[in-house]
Amino acid sequence: MDAFTTLTAVAVPIDVDNVDNDQHIPARLMRKPRIGKAYGGYWFHDQRFNEDGSEMPDFVLNKPGFRDARIVVAAKNYACGSSRLGAVYVHYDYGIRAVIAVSFGDVFYNNCFKNGILPVRLDEATVARLRRELHAQPGTTIALDLPQQTVTGPDGTVYPFDIDAFGKRCLLQGLSDIKLTLEQEPRIKAFEDKHRQQMSWLFQTAPQEGAK
């Protein structure tokens, strides 16, 4: 996984609340293999492209200035709904490395950390202000500093943000959380042994077919 430390890049505003993951990637595209950066082309597919594959000029990602965005500034409850991992892949494969929002769908938020994307929660007024600034000047950049936990807006204002320490470590070092957890194997094993005693009925041998 890519490590994340700092990033200064073009940001795209996504203004609406509750952008669900069926919008990020329609279900019918989820059976497509993820080869190269293929999923980048599926992001917002049904709002970005016409039936014939041509671009819909009104969609924000198709507007000059925003195409090369690597940061998203969204609104409330961003990427909610379906737990599909594809919702993170479409962002990553498009080139997005950070998302700033008032709030996120839980699963998407957690998935970001495992996929080299920094999710940042800021208050509603700040997020709305950032979006306004981006609309006013398409192509303008935002700076993110994960070690310092700051966002610097287009006008130079610095906003601090909170982030989970474990997720921060994974992102900074580009670590797989599986490897990190497996370092705890003796603890997991000890817990399992205790659990096996306390809730022994969950560890009974395979059941008879057709019970009940």
Q: H helices of 115-184, where?
A: 124-136, 165-173, 177-182
Tell whether residue 195 is a contact of other proteins (CB under 8 A). Answer: yes
Tell whether residue 106 is a contact of other proteins (CB under 8 A). Answer: yes
What is the rounded distance in angstroms from the CA atom of residue 16 to the CA atom of residue 138?
Answer: 18
Tell whether residue 22 is a contact of other proteins (CB under 8 A). Answer: yes
Q: Within positions 162 to 191, which residues make up the interface with other proteins, using CB under 8 A?
A: 164-169, 176-179, 181-182, 184, 187-188, 191
As to burial, measured by CB atoms within 10 angstroms (0-12 exposed, 13-18 middle, 19+ buried), residue 16 is exposed
Total binding residues for other proteins by CB under 8 A? 68
Tell whether residue 100 is a contact of other proteins (CB under 8 A). Answer: no
- Name the residue with tokens 């059976």: 31
Tell whether residue 84 is a contact of other proteins (CB under 8 A). Answer: yes
Stretch in the footprint of other proteins (CB under 8 A) among 52-60, 69-77, 92-100, 139-147 = 69-77
What is the rounded distance in angstroms from the CA atom of residue 20 to the CA atom of residue 66?
Answer: 21
Tell whether residue 75 is a contact of other proteins (CB under 8 A). Answer: yes
Which H/E stretch holds residue 103? Answer: none
* 91 touches 25 (CB < 8 A): no
- Pick one of 68, 155, 192, 193: the residue that binds other proteins (CB under 8 A): 192
Stretch in the footprint of other proteins (CB under 8 A) among 5-13, 59-67, 71-79, 140-148 = 71-79
